[in-house]
Amino acid sequence: MPGLLATRYPTTLESSHVTSASRDTGSVLRVALACAVLGAAATSYGGMATAATTAPVCSVQSRPFGTLSTGQPVAAYTMRNARMAVTVLDYGGIIHAIELPDRGGVVGNVVRNLASLSDYEGNATFSKIVGRFAGRIGNSGFTLDGKRYDLVARPDGVSVHGGPGGFGSRLWAAAAAECGVDLSLDSADGENGFPGNLRVRTSFRLDGGELRIDYHAATDKATVINLTHHAFFNLSATSTIYAHTLQVNADSWLPTDSKRVPTGEIAPVTGALDLRAGRALGAVANSQEEAVAANKGLDHSFVLTGSHAARLSDRGSGRTLDVFTTEPGLVVFSANGWNGTLRDAAGSPLLKGGGVALETQHFPNSPNIPAFPSTVLRPGSPLRSTTIFRFTTADAQGR
């Protein structure tokens, strides 16, 4: 793709850790962003590189967003340039809005949000950062370096998205940055059964038509980690994403057991799950093929072939979203359980298929499957992971 030099993902999280010689990357990024505002070239970071572009001047503004049930105030940070605006909350790292024009110049929000802060409090992952471990871990835990760790799990022995009170339910420390915001939090040793005192930083940066998310984590004890963002995209002004076309650059996917935990099998994509050439989401999510119908839609982990993970496009609005990542996997979830009981900030009900999550991550249940890319994080080898959401809009002639 123009603007990104294709690089294969690291085969393990440990191989994506930086060496001491490369730990100044954060300051390099800040310098690069400052240069971008002046119209200079962007720089590479986290194993990925963006092409030289002239970025519009960007502003970052914060405002009160409300108060949590605990009495803690929540702030919203809006990054804005000439192409688009992105609003992120310090509660859960929620992406509340990504606003950009359609082919007719009408500006709209392309992520689904919720009507109130209390609604966000009642939904553990909706449009939030997910951690410590995105996806499902079976067997009520895992063994690392010969020691068994029991996780807080459901009665069926499945830990989901790191367990209750995860990163999406936390108030992060926030600081405005050059055309972005940095969020940080600490997760204590033993939280939901996971070992190690963990320090996490998530950085959001706006550059032209790109929203870049950089994850950084360090631990004082060997642990496992899998971070992602659970934003739901809808590029249109309609109530569902079924008319969208989704292309996923994956030759294989991860079959699951009856608890929707990956078994360790890596199977070739076939039928409805073969999205390599792009398919209408309605036809895929409503397929009666067993692999899809069992989940009542898309809720599948794909094994990516490279850094360009996916392309989501909507012919009506002319908008396209390209997803790039250093992660080896992508979970596609088509909002199968939405039933209209929740409403968005505009008052519209959230219906089944009202959005699609494109969650870049390592594979669920990796701690129990040695053949999967490693999710082990060790002291002295911090995690760095990058995902880029690139938005473009065709003109009125479809170009």
The residues annotated as belonging to the active site are 230, 359
Please answer whether residues 111 and 355 qualify as being in contact, where contact means their C-beta atoms are separated by less than 8 angstroms. yes
Which residue type sits at 181?
A: V
What is the 3-class SS of the chain, one letter each residue? CCCECCCCCCCCCHHHCCCHHHCCHHHHHHHHHHHHHCCCCCCCECCECECCCCCCCCEEEEEEEEECCCCCEEEEEEEECCCCEEEEECECCCEEEEEEECCCCCEEECECCCCCHHHHHCCCCCCCEECCECCEECCCEEEECCEEEECCCCCCCCEECCCCCCHHHCECEEEEECCEEEEEEEECCCHHHCCCCEEEEEEEEEECCEEEEEEEEEECCCEECECEECCEECCCCCCCCCCCEEEECEEEECCECCCCCECCCCEECCHHHCCCCCEEHHHHHCCCCHHHHCCCCCEEEEEECCCEEEEEEECCCCEEEEEEECCCEEEEECCCCCCCCCECCCCCECCCCCCEEEEEECCCCHHHCCCCCCCEEECCECEEEEEEEEEEECCCCCC
Please answer whether residues 336 and 107 qualify as being in contact, where contact means their C-beta atoms are separated by less than 8 angstroms. no
Do the strands 173-177 and 319-325 form a parallel or antiparallel pair, or are they unpaired?
A: unpaired
Q: From CA 337, how far away is CA 322, in angstroms rounded? A: 25
